[in-house]
Amino acid sequence: MKKATKYITALLSAAAFFGSCKKIENKDLNNPTIGAIVSNPAKGELDNLVTGTEAGLRLSLSFYLDDAGAIGREMYRFSGSEPRYTSELLGGSTSVLDNNTFYITNPFASNLQDARNAYTLIAAAPNCKTISDAEKNGYIGFARTIVAYDLLMNLNLTYNNGIRTDIADPNKLGPIVSKDQALTDIAALLDQANTELTGSSVIFPLSSGFDGFSDAEGLAKFNRALAARVAVYRAQWDDALSFLGQSFYSQSGDLKQGIYMPFSTSSNDITNTVFIAQNANGEQRVAHPSFTTDIAPGDDRINKVSLRTSAATQSGLSSNYDLWLYQSNTAPVPIIRNEELILIFAEAKIQKGGAQDLTDARDALNVIRTKHGLGNYGGAVTQPALLDEMLNQRRFSLFFEGHRWVDMRRYNRLNTLPIDRPGDDVWSEFPIPLAENN
């Protein structure tokens, strides 16, 4: 990530929260001169807002992944200082999810603040006197795409409890809307951003996470990839296929190609706090035992976990394998990548259900299988059988990227996830944070 200037110093200093379970305060990240920036910005100030908005995507990422990964029974988060990872998140005994605890307040507030930072950019760009209209639209289209992504991340947490989508003016917030309305609003934001990016000119710097996608065409492909994800969440299968055609989807392409959140040890940047070294004690992220027992022999995705020298245990839970998806503190984390897009194609085709659609879906799933060392799918080419196969491939391909819990929930299969201790629960959603209700 490029070095940020004073407008995002507060954003980057918020990284201190990664090591704690304190509540993130919902403060203005752009300092008291924000009014002047909006009314008469220089190009450099717009660039600072871009950098701050991109940096802000990462600030509570570890909490989001721990939430989705633990409830989705992909992993356990063992912590010597924080028992709620194995009690409240897993529904241990009489535990329930709290609406004023770090696991929801931190990621929710961080995503909202990042979206509001992006709205500052949207408000400021039209007032810059030194750039063209096409260049203004580049800033605005990028920012609105990020707003949509931030809102989607929060909706993934609260789901049927809904979210606010009208947050452009922090002093005049809209109401909390339903899950379905929120998805409609997020899709509309992505469509508006795509219109703004079309024919725009991108003159601002982006990090290495946008390599290959840092011009207007690339950002539009990123936008349409996110739109395809939202479309399958809305069960709009034809739209999903249309959006894939406008994205960077490619069955012959690199599965890892996509847009990422980068990390570094450079001054004013942050490292990847999802990373924990192998065989660590105290603070541990370990794979749920079902990952290694369920994966097929020869599947190279087994390398996403690492055998420990001794089992990790806490609160009646145990695992012999560390999470090893992110193998250093500078490993990037994907926002969206081609492997997910191929699986979206397969899902949409399965749901359309025609004979040719099912054949197309099987062939797409075979692309995933063969690239991971497996033979072609040999099961029935029926909608139920292929849905099972698609969800299974998503499980291992998108492991600990924040999808498993979401996938099992939208297919009403949360009751198939393992219960590891008597009295545990698999939650369907988080409560709206107390501060948001207030």
* Unique residue bearing structure tokens 């897993």: 90
Q: What share of the chain is helix, strand, coil (3-state, %, to 5)?
A: 50, 10, 40
Domain-located, residue 322: no
Give the pLDDT of residue 150: 98
Phi, psi of 166 (to 5 degrees): -95, 90
180 C-beta neighbours (distance < 10 Å), count: 12
Query: Which tokens sit at 159?
Result: 């789901």
Give the pLDDT of residue 28: 45
- Looking up residue 63, the CATH number of its domain turns out to be 1.25.40.390
Instruction: Provide the CB-side half-sphere exposure for 45 (13 A, CA).
Output: 23
Domain-located, residue 172: yes
Residues 386-435 pLDDT 10s: 999 999 999 999 999 999 999 999 999 999 999 999 999 999 999 999 99
Domain-located, residue 423: no
Residues 265-315 pLDDT 10s: 998 899 999 999 999 999 999 999 999 999 999 999 999 999 999 999 999
Domain-located, residue 22: yes
Amino acid sitting at position 69: G
Count of domains in the chain?
1
Instruction: Provide the CB-side half-sphere exposure for 268 (13 A, CA).
Output: 13
Domain-located, residue 422: no
Amino acid sitting at position 436: E
Least Cα distance to 110 among 54, 57, 51 occurs for 57
Domain-located, residue 280: no
Give the pLDDT of residue 35: 81
Residues 104-117 pLDDT 10s: 999 999 999 999 99
Which domain covers residue 12, as residue numbers? Answer: 6-272+331-416
Residues whose CB is less than 8 angstroms from the CB of residue 133 and which lie 6 or more positions away in sequence, other chains included? none
Burial 23-46 (b: 16+ CB within 10 A, else e): bbebeebbeeebeebbeebebebb
Cα(22)–Cα(400) distance, integer angstroms:
23
2 C-beta neighbours (distance < 10 Å), count: 18
Contact (CB, 8 A) for 377 and 296: no
Domain-located, residue 124: yes
Cα(228)–Cα(239) distance, integer angstroms:
7
Domain-located, residue 10: yes
> What does DSSP assign to residue 8?
G
Cα(285)–Cα(324) distance, integer angstroms:
9
Give the pLDDT of residue 33: 60
Residues of the chain predicted below pLDDT 50: 2-32
Give the pLDDT of residue 19: 31
Contact (CB, 8 A) for 261 and 335: yes
* Residue 331 burial by Cβ neighbours in a 10 Å radius (0-12, 13-18, 19+): middle
